[in-house]
Chain A
Amino acid sequence: MDDKLDFLDILASTLHDTKNSLGMLSNTLAEIIERYKDRDDSLFREFNMLQYEIKRLNHNQIRLLSLYKAERSQFAINIDLHSVSECLEEVVLQNDHILGSKGIEIETDCQEGLFWAFDRGLVSGILDNVLNNAFRYAKDKVRLSVARDGLYLAIRLEDNGPGYPEEMLMDGREGSFRRETIDFGTGSTGLGLYFSMLVAGSHVNKDRKGRITITNGGTLGGGVFTLYIP
């Protein structure tokens, strides 16, 4: 048989299918959680734990599908002017049930009436992912803040967890990504950061390019993730 299917295409369509199932799982679970929301017992927390894992899986699928599209040169970025506070509120809303079930509080600091040009879907996707990770790493506090940094918009996510492991930090080298941090043993593939970098970098305004940085410290003493959009 000559018409052998391309493995990448098979992978992509399988991912699509899996994503549909995940969507069903997530929605059904949300209905169950809704029913249990007044019970402060371990079951409620376990359901939220499940929801966190489903979201993680979903982020992985989105990332893989997007990278597949990038591979096939179909990756498109759709920049428009958006209310920054509205975008952040949406991301917070997607996460505060899950984080709240573990007693993690989300604080936001964003000026109302601030508009910026970016791809809302992609940027929310990155922030949603980083915020979802906070479920695992933050102790009890996350802070999402926005500031203008010269000609860039800096969206920062800080937590009061143990911070990023030393070997993942970028030694201040902007935009660089250390492949060696991919570690299948610990489950930290660093793919999330790689994808964030790709998205940040696809935001271009004149001679300025978007980027991300990760450091430790900040106002809460834990990990600090910053996305710069020109």
Chain B
Amino acid sequence: MATAPKSPASSQSDVTIELKGKKALIVEDFFSFRNTIKKMVKSFGLTDIDEAADGKEAIARLSQKKYDIILCDYNLGPGKDGQQVLEEARHREYIDYSTVFIMATAENTMDMFMGAIEYEPDDYMVKPFTRETLERKLRDWVNKKENLKDIERAFAKKDYEKVITLCDGLISGNPKNLAQLFKLKGEALIRKGDYPEAATFYEKVLTMGNMPWAILNLGKIRYIIGDYDEAKAIFQGLIAENDKIVSAHDWLAKVHEKTGNTQEAQKILQDAVRISPKAILRQKALGDVAYKNKDLAVAEQSFKEAVKQGKHSFFKSASDYTSLAKVLVDKNEPQEGLSVLSEAGREFTDSTEAALQISVTEVLTLKKMNREEDAKKALDKVSKLTAKLPGKMSTDVELDLAKALISSGDEKTGNAIIRRLVQSNHEDLELISTVQNVYKDLNIGDKGQQIIAVAREEVITLNNNGVRLVKEGNFAEAIKLFDQAVDNLPDNKIINANAAQAFIVFMKKKGRNTDLLKKTKECLDRVNTIDPAYKNLRTLMTAYKDLSQEQ
């Protein structure tokens, strides 16, 4: 087992790795440090080296050029920090898994960034580091990443099957980036929707050591498949072992919210925010749950924090502002709410959806202030924006829009929006209860209840009829019914899944047909987009695959 003593010469066994042609970006706010690092990097043979003095400049550079190596200081003075640079660069796809991203830090211990693997830097380096250490790190990482190029391409094409095969091939050779390959394989299994297989995989990984990310992913899988008790136990265990793993708090809060325990969810998020306040998504989640709990003080503080952090974050959104405005209205400070909204208007000038969301909230605010004329003007703006909107609205915006319309007297349009939302999600009890609250707020709770009940009943009957027709063997009628149903309710996962099932059963009995195969695929794709963990989606997909490959 003994190996020869390692001298620096022999430890550079990766000399085959050529750093020369690589493109590097150095992000560091101190000029003298930046210069020192640049000199080091130059001495490794790199010639294409760019510099950035702060996060903003870094993003600008990254947007214009694809780098192989990024050396980024965590602490970049005011503005974005290194972590925010990483998050934004990944989201905008300026960098990918094969890019080497190394974060330089001032000391060993820092916040844990554990969540989706895309938010993790490849490595941390504690300052100061020697030239040799940096060279070694760069060579090691460039070498390690060499084998990720194919996996990267497969990931980009969403060919998870291939990602898994490629990972397996590499893992058997025990490469130095074993942990990263494990993470990628697990991620691919989850994205593919193969939850039992993914769980088995993480359990196997855990026999090699007690890695929190593997435990966290096990919990996530339990959450996705709706096994909330088990998910809760896993996240609680993780927190008991190491309460700095804030993502475990985030997930535990989600479990509590799903199971209706919003008070507990708020408490946990408040803990998490104490541990790691600099996380805009966490502040938003806390604001949302506190607002649900009618804890206006906490909601206000969280949304204010989200707005503040959003100034430098990729994750900023108009809803940070509109949520804050709603809280202020509820606190009887509508004037404050309006000024938050006008600030939002200045902040989001090039997004129709943002403008729409802001205007809708304006209508609601002005109504509360009894400024009917102004509310009317705002509503006109809303209709213009709605017509201009390129894509779909988010559910939250749609609900606010319905509320604004109904309160302005346009019950017909408002109720139609709600009807469609309910019919698209007729078994989503969380949404149904939110809708009920909208009607309650409008003081038409009873009427609303009736609208909701009728809308739901229609879908249930429709669905039941279709399922009955299939059972009776009346395929012609069943197919006609489902065909029409998915046309009317393309966002209803249950209708889509049952339609696909009817089509499949028919083709199994009577033989394939190209048109129906295409329709089946469309239904299944929609289910996969709406809810990849839908209960029998995998079975249906396999059945579809078998059918489409038949000779």
Contact = CB atoms under 8 A, between A and B. Distances in A.
Q: Do chains A and B stick together as partners?
A: yes
Interface of A: 16, 19-20, 22-24, 26-28, 30-31, 34, 58, 61-62, 65-66, 69, 74-83, 86, 89-90, 92-94, 96-97, 105-113, 115-118, 121-122, 125, 204-206, 230
Contact of A96 (B8, B111, B174, B211): B8
A45 B1 CA distance: 35
Given A74-B244, A94-B133, 11 more contacts: A27-B130, A74-B109, A80-B179, A83-B176, A92-B11, A93-B8, A93-B11, A96-B7, A116-B209, A117-B210, A121-B124
Interface in B100-149: 106-112, 114, 124, 126-128, 130-133, 136-137, 140
Contact of A24 (B32, B205, B213): B32
Nearest to B39: A31
Contacts of A31: 39
> Do most interface residues of chain B lie in helix, strand or loop, or is the interface mixed?
loop
30 contacts: A19-B106, A20-B106, A24-B32, A24-B33, A27-B130, A31-B39, A62-B107, A65-B109, A69-B107, A76-B109, A77-B109, A79-B211, A80-B179, A80-B211, A81-B182, A81-B208, A90-B133, A92-B11, A93-B8, A94-B130, A96-B8, A97-B130, A108-B6, A109-B1, A109-B2, A111-B1, A115-B174, A115-B208, A117-B210, A121-B126
Interface of B: 1-3, 5-8, 11, 30, 32-33, 36, 39, 106-112, 114, 124, 126-128, 130-133, 136-137, 140, 174, 176, 178-179, 182, 205, 208-213, 241-242, 244
Nearest to A153: B209
Nearest to A28: B36
A117 B11 contact: no
Contacts of B242: 76-77
Contacts of A116: 209
A109 B5 CA distance: 7
B241 A204 contact: yes
B108 A62 contact: yes
Contacts of B211: 79-81, 117
Q: Which of B7, B209, B244 has the most CB of A within 10 A?
A: B209
A93 B1 contact: no
B3 A205 contact: no
Name the residue in A66, A76, A77, A230 with the highest tally of chain B Cβ atoms < 10 Å from its Cβ: A76
Given A62-B108, A125-B108, A79 B209 contact: yes
Contacts of A93: 8, 11, 130, 132-133, 136
Given A27-B36, A90-B136, A92-B6, A66 B179 contact: no
A27 B128 contact: yes
Contacts of A107: 5
Contacts of A76: 109-112, 242, 244
Given A27-B128, A58-B128, A81-B208, A16 B106 contact: yes
A19 B11 contact: no
A118 to B, nearest CB: 8
B1 A20 contact: no
A79 B33 CA distance: 29
A61 B108 CA distance: 11
Given A22-B128, A121-B126, A206 B210 contact: yes
B6 A89 contact: yes
Given A23-B128, A113-B174, A121-B126, A69 B209 contact: no
B390 to A, nearest CB: 42
A174 to B, nearest CB: 21
Contact of B109 (A23, A92, A111, A122): A122
A69 B140 CA distance: 30
A66 B109 contact: yes
Contacts of A92: 6, 11
B133 A80 contact: no
B3 A108 contact: yes
Contacts of A62: 107-108, 126
Contacts of A20: 30, 33, 106, 127
